[in-house]
Structure formats: C-alpha cells, structure tokens
Amino acid sequence: MRTLIILLLTFIASPAISQPLQSWVEDQLDISALRGSLWGGVAAYADAPQEPLFSVQADTRLTPASTLKLLTTAAALETFGPLHRFKTELYAEQKPDENGILHGNLYVRGGGDPTLGSSRVTGAETLQAVLQKWQQAIEAAGIRRIEGRIVADVSSFEGPSVAPKVNWENMGNYYAAPVSPLCINDNLFEIQFTPQPLGNQPVSVAHVEPAVDGLSFQSFVTTDAKSKKDNAYVYGAPGQNELKIFGTIPTHSTGFKIKGAMPDAALFAVQALRKQLNQNGISVNGTSQTTANQPDYTSMHLLHTYQSPALKDIVVIVNKRSFNLYAEMLLRNLAVAAGKKGSLQNGLNELNTFLRKRNLIGDTDTVLYDGSGLSRDNLLTSNTLLRTLIYMSNSPYFTYYYNSLATPDDRGDLLLLRRFLKPQKKVNEVRIKGGTIDGVKAGAGYVKDQNGRLIAFVMIANNLASKDENLLRTHENIIKKLLELK
C-alpha cells in the first residue's frame, strides 16, 4: 500500500482537479489582503492524491515559515522511530584515589538531546534536577575533590550554530537560540526588567534566571502603556556575551520578563555543574570549558547516562508549540544518524535525501536553509508539503505525527480556528501546523470530511504587506469547506 501511495504522488503535478471546489477557492482568494502577494495551496484525499480537490500555484516555490517543520519531524520519526531517546553521558577521566581526589577531568558528552534540563516535554527533568543527578553520580563514584577541569564535549556538531539566513532581529532571542550537542534549559534565560508602571519610560535589566556567567546588558527598552504585548528584542550573536535590548514592553508594576538565547549553552552547562559541586562540598580546582575534539572515552569511567524523553514527545513540542530549537536539533541529528558531523549543511543534505528517496520532491522543489522555517529565504512548493503529509498518513508512525499537530482549540501553535469550529464540534476533525514570519502566513495539515475520510491540505501566503486578519478568515473558510465534503 505504501509503495502504491508513493507512485501515486508522482501524478500530482498533472492533476485532475475538482472544478467546483477549484472555482470556489479561487473566488475566496479575491481579497485585499492578498493584493500584490503570492498564494499557493492544494488539497487532496490521502487515499486519492492524484485527484486534488483544488490546486493553486502548487508547484510555485514559496516561503513556508514553520510549516517546514512538517518535513523535519517526518524525517526524524522515519529515521529514528518514535521511541528513540537521545543520551547525555558523564565521564571521569580516571578513578579517584583513596582520598576521593580525581586527578583528571570530568567530561559531559553532548549527545544532541534537545530537552536536557527543560520542563517543556513530558518526561524531561528540569535544569536543577539534572545537576543534582550528576552530583549524585559523582558522589556515588567516591569523588570528593576534582583537581582537573569540567569539560563539555561538543564534538558531534560543527559549523554555524544558527542558520546564516536567520535575520539579526531574531538572533539573540530564545526562538533563534544556537544549537549545541549539549543543550541545557532550552538554551535560554529569562530577563527580568525593573518595575515601571508609567508609559514611555526607560527600563533596566533587574536580573537574569538562570544566571549566566559573563553576560552584560545594555537596555534601550522603554514602556508602552497602550500595548500588552512584548515587543522587545535581544541582539547578540552566538558566543557574544555583550547583549543589547531594543524595543518596548508593557507597563508593569512588578516587572516584565522576556527570554534571551544563551550565547554558549554547553559552556553554561559545565559552569552550572561546577557551581553545583562547589556548593555541595565537592571542590573543583580547574575551570569549565568546551572542546570540539572528541576525547578517548575507552579508558574513562562512565558515571551517568541521562536519556531524553521519547522522540514522539519531542515532536509534539516541535509541531504543536512550533519550537525552533528542537527542530534545528533534530535536523542536525539526522546527519549524526548518517555517521556525519551534525552540521547545518549535513542535516539539510540528509533531509533532502530523505525527501528525494521517497519521491516527495523534484530537483527544483526546495531551497532550504534551516529545519525550522525561521529563515525568510527558505522555499518549497505546496505540493512538497502535500506529498509529505500524504506519505506520512501511510507511515506506521502516523498516529504520532498526526497527534503532534495542533487542534483548533489548542493553546499552542494555532488559535485561529477555535471560534468557528468549536460550536460545530469539529475540533477533533482538524490537525494543523501553522507558520508565520514577516510577510508570510501558512497552514498545512489534515481534516476529515463528513464521512471521516482523511484530506491533506496546504495554504501558503507570501509577500503580505500587512497583518490583515481577513486572510486567516479565508484560510478558515477553506478548511471549513473541506470539512463539509462528502
């Protein structure tokens, strides 16, 4: 059956389109929000992909925003399986002597776990819980003092930790956090501003949680009494400790928080471990540092292995919460699984190989620069997403993929469908991945018609001049029409 579906996908380029629905969709697109813009979309029954229900510029390359995550998570589930867990290992260079002194280094070997020290994913443990486990493992090994250093091994990844096409306004903020084979605390920190109940006033940084050694801030942020939204941005490149913050925040009598990206999460992890040990009676004489050269672990002593939650639970956060860091981590892990360094380019190569081998893309269907969709320069066709959605509907892992997408009333990736679907009790008939960056609004996923038959759909708008909500209403109307099919 799965082979048959792959063969049928090749016919989407020359479809036999349902003309009444095609004309209706084209009429829906005649709105002011789409003047001067590009719109591409397509929908088809999962069991009849060669007969699209509608198709508008479905082979035109468009910027997908976060709907690109549908490709990354599909490849991850198919490559690793839903129960895969990523490992982070703690090693001692040698055994302690009779006095409990380790005459050597401790190594924390990063294994590409996106969730280490996070509270986002079911089954993950917080930063403090991870540090305590490492401390307990060191104590259980009889180590009472460390003469060497604590070293973060980041050798499994290489190259840029943030995609080069990510713009400067995003870089430095938590949603563009640099990747690392040793992630920690979602590679972010919270910035607490001083209380300021009056509008148009400057605000300074009160404190940061967790505290990151060496960070300094210049705040150019002011309060906006008319807005309740965070419009402040942290500016800083990976590895840069001098950060500047621009924009506005709402007035607040107790202070306001935003999230920034850790410049070097792996270094923070081993610095935090050093503090944890020193505060609990295990002195560490050496410094904390990172290494890009893999040590020889064959003669070392494994003290602890931390395992991530299952991939199926990580994929939920990627798609339903549209968390960029986890998507970028999965992309690089595709390269590691293929026996290569976890670089951005190697990950993109593996993703494209995955898509080509399954006949999901042609030679010119995609131009990809990251795995999350954050870059405005990413390009793919609506048919690429449709083929992927239909392919995954025949995967043994489809339940995990399907359930990782947002429902209309989910307080995660998407809220735009809640109003009109919930009164009709159609919430469980829709699964969707949204995508929004400047000038782009997209949505792709599945609906079930009145007979419960599965439909895959894609809608991508590019070059939008405003944030006109009428476009979202148009997308709602198209989904509603698909739900009404018999």
pLDDT reported for residue 413: 55
Task: Please check whether residue 182 lies inside any domain of the structure.
Answer: no
With cut-offs at 50, 70 and 90, classify the pLDDT of residue 229: confident
pLDDT reported for residue 12: 45
Residues 249 and 380 in one domain: no
Residues 33 and 123 in one domain: no
What residues make up the domain containing 244? 191-261
Q: What is the CATH number of the domain that holds 436?
A: 3.40.710.10
Residues 456 and 400 in one domain: yes
- Count of domains in the chain? 3
How far, CA to CA in Å, does 422 sit from each of 418, 426, 428? Answer: 6, 6, 9
With cut-offs at 50, 70 and 90, classify the pLDDT of residue 18: low
Residues 381 and 446 in one domain: yes
How far is the C-alpha of 371 from the C-alpha of 136, rounded, in Å?
36
pLDDT reported for residue 412: 58
Sheet holding 379-381, edge to edge: 61-62, 379-381, 366-367
Comparing C-alpha atoms, which of 418, 319, 459 is closest to residue 37? 459
Find out whether 306 and 133 touch, Cβ atoms under 8 Å: yes
pLDDT, averaged across the chain: 93
Across residues 109-131, what is the average pLDDT?
Answer: 96
With cut-offs at 50, 70 and 90, classify the pLDDT of residue 414: low
Across residues 204-229, what is the average pLDDT?
Answer: 95
Residues 304 and 316 in one domain: no
Task: Please check whether residue 465 lies inside any domain of the structure.
Answer: yes
At residue 14, does pLDDT exceed 80?
no
Task: Please check whether residue 179 lies inside any domain of the structure.
Answer: no
At residue 409, does pLDDT exceed 90?
no
φ/ψ of residue 56, rounded to 5: -125, 115
Cα–chain center distance at 396: 23
Residue finishing a domain among 309, 339, 369 = 309
Tens-digit pLDDT profile for residues 25-52: 999 999 999 999 999 999 999 999 999 9
Q: What is the CATH number of the domain that holds 296?
A: 3.50.80.20
Residues 273 and 354 in one domain: no
Across residues 455-462, what is the average pLDDT?
Answer: 98
Across residues 304-326, what is the average pLDDT?
Answer: 97
With cut-offs at 50, 70 and 90, classify the pLDDT of residue 17: low
pTM: 0.94
At residue 392, does pLDDT exceed 90?
yes
Task: Please check whether residue 171 lies inside any domain of the structure.
Answer: no
Residues 61 and 91 in one domain: no
Residues 75 and 94 in one domain: no
At residue 335, does pLDDT exceed 60?
yes
Cis-peptide into 250, omega within 30 deg: no
Residues 65 and 132 in one domain: no
Residues 453 and 471 in one domain: yes
Residues 93 and 36 in one domain: no
How far is the C-alpha of 180 from the C-alpha of 203, rounded, in Å?
32
pLDDT reported for residue 408: 83
Task: Please check whether residue 186 lies inside any domain of the structure.
Answer: no
Residues 352 and 469 in one domain: yes
With cut-offs at 50, 70 and 90, classify the pLDDT of residue 253: confident
With cut-offs at 50, 70 and 90, classify the pLDDT of residue 416: low
3-state secondary structure of 436: strand
- Tokens found for residue 241: 């400790």
pLDDT reported for residue 424: 74
How far is the C-alpha of 105 from the C-alpha of 82, rounded, in Å?
35
